Amino acid sequence: MKSIYAMFLLFSVIIAWLVPQDTQSCTSFCFETEDQLLFGRSFDWHAGNGLVIVNKRNVSKTAWLGAIIDQPVAAWTSKYGSITFNHVGRELPFGGINEAGLVVEELIFRKGRYPSQDSRPAIGYLQWIQYQLDNYSTVDEVISSDSHIRIVKSQRRSVLHYIACDRGGNCASIEFIDGNMVYHLKKTMPFKILTNTYTYAQSVEYLSLHTGFGGKFQIPTGADGLHRFTRAANMLKNYDPVTSKSAMDYIFDILSNVKQDNTLWNIVYDMKNFRIYFRTSENHKIRYFDLRSFDFSCDTPVKVLDINAELSGNVTINFLNYTKQINRSLVEELKHYYNNVSEESIELISQAPERTFCIR
């Protein structure tokens, strides 16, 4: 039994170190026009390998963690299929969209603190994203989930905060401050944007100091999260459907505007049409696929795509059947980018998906 506990604990520590650290400078935002609802996301980091994964409905899952081994862990059966972008491995996404049109993405958040141990079942901070996509269709449901699950306390200096948007155009920033969920939505989220490091409230306060938003300072051009939040807000505010580019071209312009030297992925979710566009630093061509082209029944194979594959245009037919080796190959790449990743660590992360099973 002690060896099992040790294995769980090791896994949780490994995942803690693999989550993007403080050099991450990501930007996420929702862009709504009269007839379109788009969500843009930049992933800025030093390792850009990853898989696009088709996750199935009716799959039984148990949270994979070990820091709280004497407490119940979250267990659920997926209600919705989803598409996720995974850098660490299957079941540990950095973000995605489900077949109900819910998008959830993460960004680094230095000053956050997850809840202390209590009676709620625990879940890890990456699998929390998969849990939301598996179970919910609206932002309100995501927020309400805090009453019955909690993110496991991180041993890292930094934690994550999240932005979730649903097909109704509702968005929420979700942060854990002093152990409590703090969220903004609807009237308390006037700008549907989130960047790394700072709280949503700090970002809005900084924005108010600038021209066009009640202040006198010019729009900043720096890489800081507050600067990128302000530039994204300014571009969203100034979009003119008559004189500007198409909404799709414009959202990629915003992503280019907030681009950093370490921007590795750009992802755009067309939430009304269930189409996902993406480009990477290794392949600048914009690729896309339709979420509704996939069979989300767990009786059929899970599909995956190398995010950097040398492709263009519609890549739906290029998805491959998932294998353990494909996942393991992704996980093994972690050794090239992170210190102290042992073979035992690789094995633990690679085996995490094998704890799920289809309920027929």
In a domain, 232, yes or no: no
In a domain, 281, yes or no: yes
In a domain, 78, yes or no: yes
d(CA 107, CA 31): 18
pLDDT of residue 153: 72
| Regions of the chain where pLDDT drops below 70 | 1-24, 66-69, 154-158
In a domain, 209, yes or no: no
Asked whether the beta carbons of 65 and 352 are under 8 A apart, the reply is no
Domain with residue 97: its CATH number is 3.60.60.10
d(CA 142, CA 170): 12
Parent domain of 103: 2-197+263-358
d(CA 97, CA 137): 10
d(CA 175, CA 161): 5
d(CA 120, CA 143): 15
Cβ contacts of residue 115 below 8 Å, gap of 6+?
150, 151, 153, 176, 179, 180
In a domain, 351, yes or no: yes
In a domain, 211, yes or no: no
In a domain, 220, yes or no: no
> What is the DSSP annotation of 246-280?
-HHHHHHHHHHHT--TTEEEEEEEETTTTEEEEEE
In a domain, 208, yes or no: no
How many folded domains does the chain comprise? 1
DSSP state of 153: P
